[in-house]
Structure 1
């Protein structure tokens, strides 16, 4: 009876720890769920969702009602996105994924440079993509493909893109590990990932703390999915411009 009780207790503990029993005599640890890489906290910043990834609280994302911020007339003077675009060294036949494209502010400036390529404009909000398509038709740009993503999947075809660009977006991803893994699968060997984030090291940049990132944090999170840091270009007035690469042997 005592042996039975001990075995029963052991089985319950195994189940609580995510184990499974086979033939009543053996057990093995189950594959860890992706949720194990995140931590949820009840007490958190009002600007965050209470979900932490690699020590960083994920910021609340900006809804489509904030679209005017993306299209503000002062954006060029404040962020110099034209300098960002020039620094990408795009080739005419490149395929670029603008992740978190929003209203298409960046996508629609890149597209005319890709005379033989195109832009995948990726966003999780259909309302944002509707705004993007309005501007696309207004400017008569035909090589931008809007893609409705989900919070954990960019919905990009495998081995299809030369560059993935994220401008002030990555810090808001609810499932950053899964999204970047999806991007890595979509990248061609040698493909690049470029992240633009307000500099978290600088307290004088007047952006909410959770909407900024440090270089150290970005490099740590990209390394976790197998991306190799290549350089940080210090050409923008307030943001890091960080370049990563998918090595040829990466999956």
Structure 2
């Protein structure tokens, strides 16, 4: 997964729906990211993340809302693992993301692709395109239960 993301040295990564910080830790351990934002909706999760990463100067915990990622201005990569399917107002969320996403930033969604997926890969792709984004990569086969969808602002 980390190799797929191709995080360049000094890039700024936002982990939206960071949960307990699994991917934040992977970014810290296996990349040269300059800064990491752990973004989550749940206040108790943010408290946990702040405690877990209290000694990490380049990791900042921030809040999002159900309809907005609340992205900082310096993000190069927005990463969402097992999060997209829980966003109930996805069209509003994507409209807000489009307004907040820096011009050259990219977004990667990793989510469940199984028969009982709340949001199928096809639905996610249709929603992203309808919101004015451009899909530049879709991977369905590298993970047994998940798909990877990479997109950016449409030119």
TM-score category (smaller protein): 0.7 to 0.9
Does 2:145 correspond to 1:238? yes
TM-score (norm 1): 0.56
| Kept in 2: contact 1:196–1:241 (CA 8 A) | yes
Partner Cα distance (1:232, 1:121) in 2: 24
RMSD: 1.9
- Determine the structure 2 residue equivalent to 1:167: 81
After TM superposition, give the deviation of residue 142 of structure 1 in Å.
2.1
| Kept in 1: contact 2:110–2:149 (CA 8 A) | yes
Unaligned runs of 5+ in 1: 1-83, 204-208
Residue in structure 2 matching 1:192, options 106, 110, 118: 106
Partner Cα distance (1:130, 1:118) in 2: 19
Does 2:11 correspond to 1:105? no
Larger deviation, residues 102-111 vs 176-185:
176-185
Runs of 4+ in 1 over 6 A off after TM superposition: none
Partner Cα distance (1:141, 1:154) in 2: 22
TM-score (norm 2): 0.88
Partner Cα distance (2:80, 2:27) in 1: 13
Partner Cα distance (2:3, 2:40) in 1: 23
After TM superposition, give the deviation of residue 157 of structure 1 in Å.
3.1
After TM superposition, give the deviation of residue 112 of structure 1 in Å.
4.1
Structure number with greater Rg is: 1
Unaligned runs of 5+ in 2: none
Does 2:72 correspond to 1:157? yes
Residue in structure 2 matching 1:119, options 20, 36, 54: 36
Alignment of 1:11-50 (within 5 A): none
Residue in structure 2 matching 1:147, options 27, 39, 62: 62
- Determine the structure 2 residue equivalent to 1:224: 130
SS at match of 2:102: strand
